[in-house]
Amino acid sequence: MSEIVQEKKKGRVLEGMGTPVKKLMLNQFGGAMLGIMLSSATMQSDMLNFLTSILAIIFYLFLQYTAIWEIGAKDQIRVNGGRAAENKWQGLRIALLANGLNILLGFLAVVLTTVGVLTQWKWAGEGALISTVIARFWQGMYNGVINFIVPTNLKGVQTILSSLMYLAIILPSLVVNTIGYRMGYFNRRIFPERKKEK
């Protein structure tokens, strides 16, 4: 009997999160493709590559913010109607689920890089390379920033520290989604809504 109750609780925790998570992941795919295209077009200039990457990141975070704002606004209607309970961390929970692949890839990059540097095991180095390549594709909007910040020919501890970048670049999405959800929930806008002319 207790197992059934626990299953119901789990269901409630994830209830209604499938569509929001899919929206955020689709937005990330769009931002990544834009970032990869801009990065490829500006590869000749480090500064231009960096600046276009910043633009791709802003575009990506704007898409994330807009999507989560709408989710927060809809949830507020559901809470007011008695169909759901208020959860001020819902935006962060959705963001963590949507960033699941990013977190996994970042974690693998750090662990495999650390193991590879400390042990010189070939499989760890190859695994780290594969995980970073996939992470660079899935988070393509950050490519120019990574190229600009992380120097080439790193060795030892520097290589391990540089792999932390793949976890650090997840933080903006988590922050934007947490704030965006609450802004939508309280129907607050960064920019005032334009009134339609009659």
| 13 within a domain of the structure (yes/no) | no
Across the chain, what does the average pLDDT equal? Answer: 85
pLDDT band at 16 (very low <50, low <70, confident <90, very high): low
| 57 within a domain of the structure (yes/no) | yes
Range of the domain at 153: 18-185
Query: What are the pLDDT digits (tens) for 144-172?
Result: 999 888 877 767 777 878 889 999 999 99
| 130 within a domain of the structure (yes/no) | yes
179 pLDDT higher than 70 = yes
- Quick one: average pLDDT of 101-129? 91
Secondary structure (DSSP) of the chain: -HHHHHHHHHHHHHTT-HHHHHHHHHHHHHHHHHHHHHHHHTTT-HHHHHHHHHHHHHHHHHHHHHHHHHHHHHHHHHHHTTSS---TTHHHHHHHHHTHHHHHHHHHHHHHHHHHHHH--HHHHHHHHHHHHHHHHHTGGGHHHHHHHSPSS--THHHHHHHTHHHHTTHHHHHHHHHHHHHHHTT--SSPPPPPP-
% of the chain surpassing 90 pLDDT: 57
The answer to whether 186 touches 132, Cβ cutoff 8 Å, is no
| 12 within a domain of the structure (yes/no) | no
1 pLDDT higher than 80 = no
Q: First CA to last CA across the chain, in angstroms?
A: 59
| 108 within a domain of the structure (yes/no) | yes
- Quick one: average pLDDT of 32-58? 92
| 87 within a domain of the structure (yes/no) | yes
Lowest mean pLDDT among 60-64, 71-75, 79-83: 79-83
Number of domains present in the structure of the chain: 1
pLDDT band at 53 (very low <50, low <70, confident <90, very high): very high
In terms of pLDDT, which residue wins out, 75 or 18?
A: 75
| 28 within a domain of the structure (yes/no) | yes
